[in-house]
Structure formats: C-alpha cells, structure tokens
A = this chain, B = another copy of it.
Amino acid sequence: MNRDLPRIAVDAMGGDFGPEVVVPGALQAVRSGAAAAVLVGREPDIRKVLDRESTQGLDIEIQHASEMVEMDEKPSEALRLKKDSSIRVAASLVKQGRCHGMISAGNSGATVAAGMFVLGRIRGVERPALAGLMPTEKKPIVLVDVGANVDSKPFHLAQFGIMGSVLAQDVLDRRSPKIGLLTIGEEEGKGNTVVRTAYEMLKKSSLNFVGNVEGRDIFTGEVDVVVCDGFVGNVALKLSEGLASSLTRMLKSELSGDIVSRMGAMLAMSAFRRFKRVVDSSEYGGAPVLGLKGSAMVCHGASNARAITRAVEIAARFHENKVQDHLVEGLAANKDLASFGRQKPASDAA
C-alpha cells in the first residue's frame, strides 16, 4: 500500500449500474496512479467484478457493507435505518481518517445527508452546497449550489461563493477566481430579494466578485464560479443535460436519413462531440459537497465508468490540494458577512 496516495472510499453499489460500472471506473483511476481506492459495498458483488479485471499491484481494498440505499428512498430514513449501507460506511471511513474522501453515484440526497450527519459541517457553515463542475465553451466552471438547498438565504449564497472560489482555485487552477451571481439582468439591483442582498454581501467579501451574470453567461466561461440557489442551479443543470440528450437524439435520427445527411452527420461528429462535452456531466464526474468536515462527492446516477474515474481523480485532487483546509480558511475570513445579512432586503419586482 502506498500511504502517500490519496485514498478514496467509493460507494460500489451506487448508480444505475452498480458495481458493474463503478468498480471498473474506480480501478481505472487507481491504475492511472491518481488514487488508492476502498470499494465499499456487498463483498460478493464487488469481488465478482474484480475477478474479471487485472488488479495485480493496484492499491485497492474492499470494505464490506451489507446494505444499500435505493434511489427513491427518503435520505433521512435510509440513513437512520440502514446503518450498514454502503453510503454511510463510506462516509464513516472518511470520518475515521481511513480515507481522504468519498464518492457515490447513489441516492444523492442520502450522500449529502451522510456528509451532514456522519462528517458534520465545517464551523460556521449553515448550508453545505453541491458544486457542479461544468465544462463550458472555454474552460470548466463551478456552478454552486446545484441542488442541496432550496429557499437559500443571502448569507447562504455568499458562503456558496466563498466555497466555490476555493474549489475553482484548488481544483480548476484559477488564480483569484471570478465570482458571478446568477440573476436576471446584469445591472446591480436586478433579481429577487434574496439575490439583491447576497449581492451586497459578496461585494463586501474577500472574493473577486465581478457582479451579476445571466443564464446566457453560464456557458460562455467568462466567470469561474456562478453562485445561485439550489433550486435554480438544479433546474439549470438538468436543463443543460436535457438539451444534450435532445441533441444526441436528433443526431441519431439524422443518421438514419438520406445518404447526404448521414455522411454529414458522421463527418460532423467531432463538432457534435465538442458541443456535447460542453453539457456532458461525465466530463467532471461529480459534484463535490462543500462545507463538510471531510470530502464527499455526489456523482450522477447515470454515471458511466469514465465519470467514476474522473470523480475519483477529483476527490484525490481535493486531498492533495488541501481543499478542506482552504474552505475552513475562506469561510473564517468572511464570517462577518453573516451579520450583514440581517439588514434591509430590497423590494421592487420585475
């Protein structure tokens, strides 16, 4: 065992395809030298897949967990009733210091909840957030929150910005990341009540806050971090995924057309692929949960092996680049913003 490698707990039971996809995905990250992995879940199921793979010399372990959380289970109940679920056991490995981070493509609510209850929140964090790593036309950006919270308060949004900035710095290698606040209309004072107060907070923060951005600015890659409530972020994320799927279906229907459009569609595949990558969630594997005392990452239920590989690599990077330490520092440096929020919410609409 190479003790220097980041060691990632991988929920082997998670995702639409379970160990069949998750285990090969995790192995690939280990093969690439990015991380060591602890595969968490039903040992026989995991071993069955491992037996088909060449694993000699790879730094992998199995941690048996007898239960698993179903995709449609209520997160809080599942956590309480299934003490030996793979998600909960993976979180415990991080809590105990046996792993440096965890990833799961299973029930995302349960993963966030396991993070909250097993790992706990960083001091001062009111709401941990899901940070989407989104490829754009130019370079990947952070969209935060993409669904951990609804009805966020202004201070929550400000904290999303602080945590997103750390992520952009440590994982996407941005210096002094540009932070934008998602709203409708670019001018100061546009948006809803919560956003307008968050604007004032972000302006007073230590961040490189560049002001409001609109929906059309997300994919241009002009800013490094886009801050929004989890309701809005989740709609934006899923809308983008939906458009990518529509595109794929249209391309397929074109491939069954006449010879000219078939040739065209085939030749243009590269352009399509580039576009698809822009809105493809597998490119970055998963969404880190920010604000926990330990690193946890939620992957898409439909993750393929490549997405799992990428998620393990990013979880490893989290550890190597000391993201957790920087989150604690960034939040502490901006803790005064909390009191700021108790003031004047603006009022006019449209």
Contact = CB atoms under 8 A, between A and B. Distances in A.
Interface of A: 72, 75, 109, 112-113, 136-137, 147-151, 182-184, 187, 191-193, 195, 214-220, 228, 230-232, 234-243, 245-247, 249-251, 254, 260-261, 263-272, 274-275, 278-279, 349-350
Nearest to A255: B271
Given A261-B270, A264-B271, A271-B264, A216 B231 contact: no
Contacts of A275: 246-247, 250
For A219, A263, A264, which residue has the most chain B Cβ atoms within 10 angstroms?
A264
A191 B150 contact: yes
Given A137-B250, A147-B184, A274-B250, A243 B242 contact: no
A137 to B, nearest CB: 5
| Protomer copies | 2
Interface of A is mostly: helix
A144 to B, nearest CB: 15
Contacts of A242: 215-220
A243 B219 contact: yes
Which 4 pairs between the two chains have the least Cβ-Cβ distance?
A264-B267, A215-B238, A268-B268, A216-B242
B239 A219 contact: yes
Nearest to A345: B151
A172 to B, nearest CB: 19
A267 B263 contact: yes
Contacts of A193: 150-151
Given A235-B236, A263-B264, A264-B271, 15 more contacts: A137-B249, A150-B192, A151-B349, A183-B231, A215-B235, A215-B236, A215-B238, A216-B241, A216-B242, A218-B239, A219-B242, A236-B236, A240-B243, A246-B275, A264-B269
